[in-house]
Structure 1
Amino acid sequence: MKIAKLHYPLDDSFHVDGKTVVAMGLFDGFHKGHQEVLKRAKDEAAKSGATFAVLTYDHHPALVYKKMSGHEKRYLTLLDYKMKLFEAFGVDQVFLVNYSYAFQSQSPQAFITNFIERFNALAVVAGFDHTYGDKQTATMANLPKYADGQFKVITVPPVDDDGKKISSTRIRIELDSGNVDEVNQLLGRPFQTEGVIVHGEERGRLLGYPTANVEHSEYQWLPRIGIYVVTVTIAGKKYLGMASIGKNVTFSDIHPMTVEINLLDFNQNIYGEVIKVDWLHYLRDEVKFQTPEQLIDQLADDANNTRQYLQTHPTILD
């Protein structure tokens, strides 16, 4: 898969060989709705013998027109992971556009001239609510008018789950509620994050439940505070674990937020390893225990519940 990093205005030397079918969107989350857009573009490209391409953006478009909080700046899928998902889906070419004020300020007609025409697009595919500039005019409903027959416009309707639209916003809300089972249903795969194993306070080891402390990017959206069933991929192999997102409130009222994972039946030194975490099931909220012994008893219950989850979902380690 080729990735072209583009900035408006495009360099005069930029060119695309051959015809393309272009799927447009931020695709944060890469959920089932996004996958339907990509599938329509992939099918259209195969039918016409064109290159299957994606136009996406290097950051949230909202950064251009409003002040965003630290939480709002986070992503469901960080850029590198999103590129891997595109490649796995069969995308041939990614046009990665810097979403700037100048880019957004183009008229819809200028956007077509400056980008779509230069992509040699036979067709453009996007979700019904996608915009490519000013939200009032640069809509999918208006795109056929601006295209004026130069290329085919395919607008994909919303994809529903349980009667409600699948969207990145809905997934963020579910993560903030700890509903990772629901999130995984909307994604069509486990919600996955990536981090590096770093040293912590090693309190878990003293309790008999040593934990791997996972340092994530500050831009990674994570589930809410709580205890979860997870699988962890280390050097290509999956392991079962129970993860804690929290502040270790049993031992301190001012402890910073951490992600700590106890890997069951595991005894290896993995400091410095970059791991992938699949978030599978919410077990419970974080609780402040009166004694370490109460916490140890709870951890034993958590481990039993994690093993029971594996018994009812035996393919999670495949």
Structure 2
Amino acid sequence: MKTVYLSYPLPAEVIREHTQPQVAAIGQFDGVHLGHASVISSAVNLAKGKHIPSAVMTFHPHPKDVMKKGDYEGSLTPLQEKQELLAGLGVDIVYVVEFNDSFSHVSPQEFVEGVLFPLGIEAAVVGFDFRFGHKGEGNAEMLRLLGDGRLNVEVIPPFELEGGKVSSTEIRKALQRGDLERAGRLLGRSYRLRGTVVGGEKRGRTIGFPTANLKLDDKFVIPVKGVYAVRAFLNGRIFPGVMNVGVKPTFHENETVPSFEVHLFDFDREIYGEHVSVELVHFIRNERKFPSVPELIAQIQADADRARELLKSGR
């Protein structure tokens, strides 16, 4: 899979290099969840039938982050993870369009004539709720009209599961109430956080539970504060463990910025500076303040035992 970074207006050399007949799925696709996968797979299959490349066009940074509107609190799949997931869906090209204040004012017509036509896109595949252009003025029907016979448009209906449509909003809500099982069903996989191991307070060592303190790679959606049974992916190997997401209220009175600390079972190697991907498998309990450190230690041991049990059982 090839990734192409674009900015508007498209430079002439970009147009010369990348113009070709192709089918493109267009959207933000944050989460690359089951609904997104249905749109993207439709584009991939349509492209195969036409014997031309398949593409996904997405936007970075997230428009809500740039416009400072709505309830944007981070991405379910920051750009690197999104690219990896798209590659797994068989996409040939990913177009990452720079979203900035200037691009937010591009009209639907300018988007079609200045981005889609120059790239040679002959078919666009979009979700049922697709919006584009300044203030979201454009929808699928407008895209079809602006295509003026040069651009076929295929609209994919909602992907429904458990009596409702799969959406990034529903996944965020599930994560923020600790419902990892529902979030995983909507995503089609367990939710992951990624980061680099950095120095922390080293308090875990003193109480018998050394932890790897993660600095997250990007602005992820943060699940509810609490304790999780996890699988950590490190240097091609998988390690079971337990993770705390939170502010450690037993030790800190006014901390508001959460930390991400992973205790890997039966693991004693220094991994500062190494990159870790953490799959959140089960939510164990909410974070809370303990009256004393011994009570906290006892609870941590109980959490670790519970995490081992859950991970071994495959539940």
Taking structure 2 as the reference length, the TM-score comes to 0.93
The alpha-carbon deviation at position 257 of structure 1 amounts to: 2.2
* Runs of at least 5 residues in structure 2 that lack an aligned partner in the other structure: none
Cα distance in 2 for partners of 1:229, 1:279 equals: 6
What residue number does 1:42 align with? Answer: 44
**Shift in Å, 1:47:** 0.4
Say if 1:104 and 1:132, in contact at 8 Å, map to a contact too: no
For residues 47-92 of structure 1, what are the alpha-carbon distances to aligned partners after superposition, in whole Å with 9 as ceiling and x for unaligned?
000111111111122345x4348x7252111111111212222211
Q: 1:282 is matched with which residue?
A: 283
Which range moves more in the overlay, 280-289 or 168-177? 168-177
Residue 161 (structure 2) aligns with: 161
The answer to whether the Cα contact below 8 Å between 1:125 and 1:153 also exists between their aligned partners in 2 is yes
**What is the rounded CA distance, in whole Å, between the counterparts of 2:207 and 2:214 in structure 1?**
19
**Residue-by-residue CA offset, 1:139-191 (whole Å, 9 max, x unaligned):** 01322222222122110111122112211111122222122221111110111
Quote how far apart the aligned CAs of 1:22 are: 0.5
How far did residue 286 of structure 1 move? Answer: 1.0
Identity score, percent: 35
Q: 1:197 to 1:156 in 2, by over 3 A?
A: same
- Matches of 2:58 and 2:28, distance apart in 1: 5
Count how many residue pairs are aligned between Structure 1 and Structure 2: 312
Is contact 2:229–2:311 with CA below 8 Å preserved after alignment? Answer: no
Contact 2:230-2:243 within 8 A present in 1 as well: yes
Structure 2 equivalent of residue 3 of structure 1: 3
Structure-to-structure mapping, 1:1-318, within 5 angstroms: 1-13=1-13, 14-15=15-16, 16-63=18-65, 66-68=67-69, 72-135=72-135, 137-217=137-217, 219-255=219-255, 256-313=257-314
CA distance in structure 2 between the partners assigned to 1:144 and 1:304 by the alignment: 57
Structure 1: stretches of 5+ with no match in the other structure: none
SS in 2 for 1:109: helix
- State the Cα distance separating 1:4 from its structure 2 match: 1.7
* Alignment RMSD: 1.9
TM-score (norm 1): 0.92
Contact 2:22 2:120 in 1 (8 A): yes
Contact 2:224–2:286 (CA<8 Å) still a contact in 1? no
**What CA deviation, in whole Å up to 9, does each residue of 1:198-231 have, x standing for no partner?**
1212211111111111111451222110000111
Distance 2:145 2:173 in 1: 35
Inter-partner Cα distance in structure 1 for 2:54 and 2:6: 18
